[in-house]
Each structure stands twice: as structure tokens, then as C-alpha cells.
Structure 1
């Protein structure tokens, strides 16, 4: 397990001197029902909440070459749940009622894009409700956090019916697994990538403000991949600079309920059939530290959006922020 970060909370990341920004659009990718007791404490045994599975389109335009790069962050629910593996299908039964349309491809179509227009799919992590239908994107390159590949191949000792994965999920020849945030990247690898005009996913992880491990994808400060440990091995977030003084933090499953962010609730735990203590996060301590860093960002003016952020989705002012609806 990755080492814990120090407890102190330094200031928020400084604004980049670069004028480079990205555009960020929300994408509808299904809704499902969560039993609150598995996510927050205290909670009643019967309380449930319908939540979205949000995905996001991030568009970067190079200031020198004018080249546009389109990235989709997470693919949400798979529109045909029968295409999940049998163990995942069994888990899906516990998350009803569920709607899987519109999915990401339909949401992109609203704004006039097809899967072939998407250059990269970045997964926050590889839980079933984020991986969608990769075969819809035959030309895209997939990016996963370090450790996610091992999970897909059945390595690890995670508990809970939510922790089943599919070994054939991603195309091996079009998948990049990020380097270990706690190991140096070899100089030869860094030189090879930096000579290319493509996004740089193999650079060395560096601190930015109160974020200990980040990757500056385009080397212009417009989009950072953030190591966000705790929820699942390989869990990553995005910090997108959208204006001279505005940024959006796409937090994946770092937190499942804003009451935790407001310190009104704690992360939930439960006992499985064998009496083992279970948590929706693989490492609760690290998850709490990640949430603390996100709280610092939010207090500093960064907008934070979680993958299952029903409060954000239900806010009327955000309806026009879905792709193709502005």
C-alpha cells in the first residue's frame, strides 16, 4: 500500500503563469441507487440515494500548434448491464433502480461528437460504474492509474461485491498505465515522451501546492493528473484550469457524499458475512487524507465535482454545463 502523506495542509496550488486553459463539459452516463450505510456514517439501514455516474469531456487546444486534444474522464455505466461479468451483474442487482441511458456515447452525440473524435479515455479507477463500454472507442488510447492493471488481472485482496474486475476490459496495445507516483521515472523514458507533441503521461510526478503527486499533462499547467490514493489502487483525479482564476477538480470516487466534505458525516464501514470490517475505500486512512486535501482546494476557490455528485447535478445552474446543452 502506498505510504501515507503528511497531515499538514499547505496552501492551494498557485495559479499557473501560463495562459493555457481547457474546456470542461459534464457528460451524463447513467444513474443508480446507493445504500447510504455503505458510504456514510451514521446512516439508517434502509436509506438509499439515487446518484449519477458523471463523466467529463476535457478539451485542450495547444497555444502554439492550435492542435485540439479531446479527453473523456470516465465512461460511467455500461448501457447493457448484461455485458458485465457475472459477478458484477450480481452486484448490479443491489444497485437498482438503475438507468443506463443516455450513456457517454449518446451524451457526446448531443454535442456533435462521436467516439472516433475522442483521443484519450482517462479512468479515475476501474470500478464497474466508471468503466462503461470501452469497445465503443476503437481509436482512443486508454489511461489508467498505477496499480489498476494489476486489479484488472485479478491481483489484490479487496473485499466486497463491488470489487470485481474484468481482465479483458482494455485493449493492451492502446492502454497506458501511469508510472508509480513513488518511484522516479527513468530519464530515457522522459526524453522519449517529451520529444513528442502528444500529451505526456510518462513524466515524473511532482508536487503542486498541497497536492504531493501530479502530472502536468500538456506541460502548460492547464491539466494535471492528481494521485488520489485511498479509494482503489490507481485512483486518480484531474485538476483543470478553466480560466485565469478558475479551476475545476474532477474528484472521481475520492468522496461519495458531500456531507463528508462538510464534516457532517464520516466514511461508512460495515461487517461482511464473515465478520470482517469492510469499507467502500480500499484504504480508509488514505481516503481521509485525500478528502482533506480536496477540502483545502475547495476552500481556496477550486470547484470540486465528484463522480456521483447528486448535489452538483441537481443544482439548476449546472444543467447548461452538460455537453451540447449550453
Structure 2
């Protein structure tokens, strides 16, 4: 089943989930209070967004690529780190999910990363024709800017993205929608800024100029962390929250953001900036109270309840 909408001003948008692996989290690193030994297996969700303008031209976007199907292809520090995240499965991956609905990576115009942590980057080389889009500050992480981070994995692959096909969005405090250093690689990319297009969201980028797909600045978790809002009908929006939160109990207020001490006694948090992350969660909470459907990248309950919304899944109806 797919979700779509059309009005007099915007094109048609369809949104589907894509499986991109599962892994296991120690809950104390994400929520508090919690039993220290509690562990939870979660999905790494990706999403396919298809936008058809009023002329019928279709633009296809994949938001996040999840786990890399061959974990041996991660850089050695990441391979070492993910031993703490087992059990883990990496199939089906995004490529297989697209194939189930009749698409290949060459059909994808843009891959947008919520951020560049290992469990979202997948295998970029699978998408040889796609343009990659990352949030402001994400490219600096490749050169060691995240080395002082504690809690979140601080290693980022320096050769992750193809230079000639990568866009880094500009600082959301500035007026430009795309960093001028990468603008030459963009064709037919609408960078109209819509600062007031969506309630509670202070910094957004309207991809198609019709309010149907917004890239949203979602600071706190990691430099360059962005979300996507999709207008699926005239009165219904779906908000793809990435790693703004890792457990729905943070959104409901039942739990707080977890912290812990490392072997050296330093206080760690899975978010680079815990206070800013809490402010982002608060904004998202207000969206949900306004009737927006919010989907985080690692929500097993959403996955279990929405198998019919994965790309290529056909639900047979009884006569």
C-alpha cells in the first residue's frame, strides 16, 4: 500500500518504507531510567519518496541507506565498534527492497542522509548515478571533526561519498539552501527556502517548491543531522525523524535521554549535544500532538504495525 496526495498547488507524493537491516542496542545508552542490562533489537529504516510534478516528471529520493549488507566493508574501527551491536542482520537491504517494487538504484535521483553514522550510510557505491545530500557540517566529520565526541561512534569514513555528486546543505542560519562549494554539481534542484512553511519547524528547505517534501534542520544528535517532512495528502504529513530520538518513550515523556560514564569516567551521551537534542525532540513532540505521523529510524513498533507500507508489499484483500 502506498500513501499519496495531490492538491492544486503540489504534485503527487508517494512514501514507502524500505528495510535496511536490524541490530541490537543497549538501552541504557539511549533512555533513562532503565535496567542496565536491557537490550533491544531495532530496525534501521530507510524510505522511498517519489514526487511527480504537475507535468508528470517523477523524482525519486531514498532517505538513508541503513546497514551495509557486507559489514566487512566498513572501516576497521567501525567493524570493531559494531561487535557491541549484535545480534545483527543486514538483509534485505535497500537495494533488495527497491527491487521488490521494481526499481533499481539507477532509478534513484537523490540519496539523502539523515546523518553519517555507520547504521545509516549503507553502501553508497550501489548508487552510481544518484546525487547525495547531507546536512551542514556532515562533510567535516570525514576529516576528524567528530574525534572528540563521546558516546556516539566517532569514526567516519573519509571516502564515504563521491565528491562530484555530493551536496552539503548550507548553514541553516544562512539564507542559501545549498553550499556554494557544491552547487555546481546540482541540476534541477529547487533550493527555495520555506522558513515558515511548517509549524514548529524553524529551518526547512522546500525541495520542490510546492511544500510536499521539506528537509528539516534537526540539530543535537550529530553535525548535519536532518529530517524530512512529507505532505502525503492535503491534510496529512509524515515526519521522518532519523535519530532525533531512538525510543518512542522519549517522545511521550515516559523516559529521558540516557547518559553513562565510560571507562575513563567521562559522562557520555549518544547525542553530540544533549540539550539541543532535547529541544529537537520537544519540537517533534509538538508536531505529533498536531496530528503529524512521526517515524524514527529505529522504531520496532512502527515496523511491526506497518508492514503493508513497505515498498513492493501487496496486501491481498479477501473477496
Unaligned regions of 5+ residues in structure 2, if any? 1-6, 315-319
Q: 1:12-31 residue pairs with structure 2 within 5 A?
A: 18-31=9-22
Does the CA contact (< 8 Å) of 1:248 and 1:303 recur in 2? yes
1:206 counterpart SS class: coil
Match of 2:308 among 317, 320, 323: 320
1:280 counterpart SS class: coil
Tell me how far apart the structure 2 counterparts of residues 282 and 308 of structure 1 sit (CA, whole Å). 18
Q: Find out whether 1:169 has 2:169 as its counterpart.
A: no
**What residue number does 1:8 align with?**
none
**What residue number does 1:3 align with?**
none
Superposition RMSD in Å: 2.1
Match of 2:127 among 137, 142, 163: 137
Unaligned regions of 5+ residues in structure 1, if any? 1-15
**What residue number does 2:195 align with?**
206
Q: How does the TM-score come out when normalised to structure 1?
A: 0.89
2:202 counterpart SS class: strand
Tell me how far apart the structure 1 counterparts of residues 83 and 194 of structure 2 sit (CA, whole Å). 39
C-alpha offsets along residues 43-80 of structure 1, whole Å, 9 cap, x if unaligned?
A: 111100000000000000011x2110000000000000
Does the CA contact (< 8 Å) of 2:169 and 2:177 recur in 1? no
Does the CA contact (< 8 Å) of 1:69 and 1:119 recur in 2? yes
**What residue number does 1:49 align with?**
40
Q: Cα distance, 1:22 vs. partner?
A: 1.3
The ranges of structure 1 where at least 4 consecutive aligned residues each deviate by more than 2 angstroms after the TM superposition are 16-21, 184-189
Tell me how far apart the structure 1 counterparts of residues 256 and 268 of structure 2 sit (CA, whole Å). 14
Q: 1:166-205 residue pairs with structure 2 within 5 A?
A: 166-185=157-176, 198-201=188-191, 203-204=192-193
C-alpha offsets along residues 295-315 of structure 1, whole Å, 9 cap, x if unaligned?
A: 111111111000001110121
Kindly tell me: are residues 304 and 93 of structure 1, through their superposed partners in 2, closer, same or farther at Cα, counting changes over 3 Å?
same
**What residue number does 1:88 align with?**
78
Tell me how far apart the structure 2 counterparts of residues 161 and 243 of structure 1 sit (CA, whole Å). 36
**What residue number does 2:118 align with?**
128
Does the CA contact (< 8 Å) of 2:167 and 2:179 recur in 1? no
Q: Cα distance, 1:19 vs. partner?
A: 4.0
Tell me how far apart the structure 2 counterparts of residues 141 and 124 of structure 1 sit (CA, whole Å). 14
Aligned residues: 304
1:239 counterpart SS class: strand
**What residue number does 1:152 align with?**
142
Tell me how far apart the structure 2 counterparts of residues 210 and 67 of structure 1 sit (CA, whole Å). 31
**What residue number does 2:4 align with?**
none
C-alpha offsets along residues 132-164 of structure 1, whole Å, 9 cap, x if unaligned?
A: 000000000000000000012212321236221
Tell me how far apart the structure 2 counterparts of residues 227 and 113 of structure 1 sit (CA, whole Å). 29
